[in-house]
Chains A and B, each alone.
Chain A
Amino acid sequence: MFAYLVKRILQAIAVMLAISMIGFAIQGNLGDPLRELLGQSVSEEVRQQLREDLGLNDPFLVQYMRFLGNALQGDLGTSYFFKEPALEVILKKFPATMELVFGATLIIVGLSVPLGVYTAIRPNSIASKVIMALSIVGISIPVFLTAILMIYLFAVELGWMPSFGRGETVHVFGYWDTNFLSADGWAHIIMPSVALSSIMLPLFVRLIRAEMMDVLQSEYVRFARAKGIAPWRIYFIHALKNTMLPVITVGGVQIGTMVAYTILTETVFSWPGMGSMFLEAVNRVDTPLIVAYLIVVGFIFVITNTIVDLIYGLVNPTVKLSRMGA
């Protein structure tokens, strides 16, 4: 377990270093900071002087170490467009995205486990067949299209739901305003959350079903039956825990995809989160903001993946002895 822990943390650090390297390379090559700072009418001499002052003529490694040092202190540069520290811009948008992810995760976890287990236990029931048919349709509709069709149906045609924005939010603390404390907030977050979960949910239902069906074929489940254990106990104590082990691993991998989907969802619903901000930054060639987004998102991935791995290690009793990984 110790080696496992150290290994995970070292690996996380290595990945973060690689991301910072990429971020640094982008910063150095994309857009000219002098032009952004000075405009075009400044003489070449002044430019050179400023280059020197800003340390742009230093060796690569010195510049990178400076970038890294600043990044560790939370300084990821100043957004060209907002004229604010890039990290601050992102942190302001962060809660909106996280609430969206939270809403979608709630839907996915809350529905995929019961639906997956049900379809595995009763594979031949009509309800299972309907669920499985819907799930394959679900994984075939791109997230953005689900979002658009929902807007068209529920906002434009039926007028039941608001079509864009976060609506009324309640301030909690710091940069955090929440959707979950007002009726209008709830109304605004439902459609984006559903849209965000629309591919992931059927994916997990199918995964849980497949794993569960495998586990139900195993010898230990048969032995549990031979012991006369009640079916609910076999399904939920014997089978579910074994089912969830691979599901947790896949879940960790899917966090990245989820963050990518927030960009799509936020764009369709004009959700004021990090994702839509990132696309705008790309259109404005706002390099510090792009780099900052990259690093923040990379950090989120690394943290969540490490946590997921540790959870896996805690849930799986065999991890302590045998090695993890392949």
Chain B
Amino acid sequence: MTLLSVRDLTVKFATRNEPVTALHGISFDIAQGERVGVVGESGAGKSITGFALMNLLSKPGFIDSGQILFEGQDVTQMSDRAVRKLRGNRMAMIFQDPMVTLNPVLTIGQQMIETLRAHRRLSYDEARQIALVKLKGVYIPSPEERLDQYPHELSGGMRQRIVIAIALLLDPQLIIADEPTTALDVTIQADIMELLLELCRSNMVGLMLITHDLGVVSQVTERTLVMYAGRIIESGKTRAIINDPQHPYTQGLINALPQQTPPGTRLRQIPGSMPTLSMMPSGCPFNPRCELATDLCRANMPDITQFGEVQVACHEVQRLQADLNTAEAAQ
């Protein structure tokens, strides 16, 4: 069953002159309990997608058009009050840097209890009991004490566990995790990822994992969306994308990893860098960096088409498919 369905979502940023487009009509679905990775480099629009789903875009960003259907309701059309009832309750979010996510002047307990009481009629003590249970759920030692501590008294890894516990407080259907381990150390990172995976599996929670790390995506998610310059350029089963990427950008991204070339030799780099919002090239946004780019790529943005197991937006892949089809027809 579809939990979340995004259709033609366009997000723009107001500037001094014309608004610039940050998301170009993206569409995707997340099924109940499904774990989806959103991969891309900085500026690809992956965080913006996450915040747009929660209707939490900060100014000057705004949703220009499109639908965000969560459990059948369009988030973009809801009243502020109705969206608030959804946030933290049916749909929760985990932020990137645990050092600045928690309010420094409120205790952990206050920050957990207020969340519970914002969505449910609970007494203070009842809420505290639930908070305790959830803290135990993320393996926090001596949770009773932690409730009365301030964030600055805890380490980064511990704080991110608390953020996860807060996200899980009201048993949401979907968790949006925006680079949840980027600010953490490698060993802690692995812990947190494993914890997140375990909790999503055992509670049948949908996860949208926003990250730049293909390794993390491959270990945690079932399906992957690859974003580039505000567009989804490739999507499909994570295995398929990691093992056999179709879009030249996805291929380049995977091939550029140091693991992909023997030690000491040159890495396979992608030349150039991602265009900025205000200097978007015409046609396919990847064309200035793409070895296969043709005049068609420089003129038109390719549509998304099915190719094998994945959906790709690339003229070259479409041409390849057409060739295959004609070859088949000839046979």
Contacts and interface: CB of A to CB of B under 8 A. Distances in A.
A129 interface: no
Given A222-B58, A317-B150, A228 B86 contact: yes
Interface string B76-120: 000000001111110011010100111111100000001100110
Given A230-B118, A237-B114, A220 B87 contact: no
A272 B205 CA distance: 72
Contacts of B163: 223
Contacts of B115: 227-229
Contacts of A224: 103
Given A219-B101, A242-B103, A242-B104, A226 B152 contact: no
B160 to A, nearest CB: 12
Given A222-B56, A238-B106, A321 B101 contact: no
Given A226-B56, A321-B153, A316 B105 contact: yes
B103 A238 contact: yes
Contacts of B105: 241-242, 245, 315-317
B54 interface: yes
Contacts of B152: 317-318, 321-322
Contact of A225 (B56, B85, B153): B56
Majority secondary structure, A binding face: helix
Most buried by A among B84, B85, B105: B105
Interface string B48-89: 000000101010000000000000000000000000111111
Contacts of B92: 226-227
A213 to B, nearest CB: 11
Contact of B89 (A221, A228, A321): A228
B166 interface: yes
Given A217-B58, A222-B56, A317-B152, A230 B84 contact: yes
B119 A228 contact: yes
Contact of B85 (A228, A237, A321): A228
Interface string A209-251: 0000000011111111111111001000110011001000000
A237 B114 CA distance: 10
* A interface bracket (residues with beta carbon within 8 Å of B): 20 to 34
A254 to B, nearest CB: 22
Contacts of A217: 58
Nearest to B93: A226
Contact of B102 (A220, A228, A318, A322): A220
A223 B152 CA distance: 17
Contacts of A229: 84, 88, 114-115, 118
A256 B152 CA distance: 33
A226 B153 CA distance: 23
B87 A226 contact: yes
Contacts of A322: 152
B102 A223 contact: yes
B320 to A, nearest CB: 42
Contacts of A317: 104-105, 150, 152
Given A228-B89, A242-B105, A218 B100 contact: yes
B126 to A, nearest CB: 18
B86 A223 contact: no
9 nearest A-B pairs in the assembled complex, by CB-CB distance = A227-B88, A228-B88, A228-B87, A226-B93, A317-B150, A219-B100, A220-B103, A227-B115, A241-B105
12 contacts: A219-B95, A219-B97, A219-B100, A223-B93, A223-B95, A225-B87, A227-B114, A227-B166, A229-B114, A242-B104, A318-B104, A322-B152
Given A223-B102, A226-B87, 6 more contacts: A220-B100, A229-B118, A230-B84, A237-B106, A245-B105, A318-B104
Interface of A: 217-230, 233, 237-238, 241-242, 245, 315-318, 321-322
